[in-house]
Amino acid sequence: MTKTLQQQLNKRHGFAVPEEEVYLNVQRTHGVLAGPLAQLFKRHDLSAPLYNILRILRGVGAQGLPCSQIGQRMVTREPDVTRLIDRLERAGWVARRRSDADRRVVNVVISRSGLKLVDRLDKPVAELHREELGHLTREEMRELNRLLVKARQVAEQRALATPEP
């Protein structure tokens, strides 16, 4: 029998509001699912944000992207994309190049070795996802995705309306 979050946390009293339980459940789930992925990435001197940047750059191809656009496309918001790109550049997985169209713009492009690394990780990452979530039906995954998008909708709209400091 699967334990409830309240049981897993050894919480004697219920949650103050249902939203608190949902929030903590999302956090707990992230923690459980992210662990094996973090271990996989660590074996390759990567973190989830670094891997995310490499995947973004692979997707855009040879033209690359400026740091600001990389930050906008990341799965989780990272406060210092430049520092992450510095680390990728030191490892030889990306390079910075001035745009031919506008010399003021510096694009980040994935290197051959960065591309090989991401390609090599495709299969183990997909296998981990299947191991962790493969017990859900397609319909359950669609519904979970729909609910997660709906859950973060208000916060994302608020973030768009609020200028960053």
State in Å, rounded, how far the first CA of the chain is from the last one: 47
pLDDT tens digits for the chain (165 residues)? 688 888 788 888 888 898 998 999 999 999 999 999 999 999 999 999 999 999 999 999 988 999 989 999 999 888 899 999 999 999 999 999 987 778 788 899 999 999 999 999 999 999 999 999 999 999 999 999 999 999 999 888 887 787 665
pLDDT value, residue 4 = 81
Which residue segments constitute the domains of the chain, with CATH numbers given?
Answer: 45-156 (1.10.10.10)
Burial string for 128-138 (b: 16+ CB within 10 Å, else e) reads beeebeeeeee
> What is the C-alpha radius of gyration for the chain, rounded to an integer number of angstroms?
19
pLDDT value, residue 113 = 97
C-alpha to C-alpha distance for 10 and 6, rounded to whole angstroms:
6
Q: Does residue 16 sit in helix, strand or coil?
A: coil
Which DSSP string do the residues of 91-145 spell out, in sequence order? TTSEEEEE-SS-TT-EEEEE-HHHHHHHHHHHHHHHHHHHHHHTTS-HHHHHHHH
Cβ atoms 71, 77 nearer than 8 A: yes
Residue identified by tokens 């909708």 is: 153
Cβ atoms 114, 95 nearer than 8 A: no
Structural element, H or E, at residue 17: none
CA nearest to 36, candidates 105, 130, 150, 112: 130
pLDDT value, residue 165 = 57
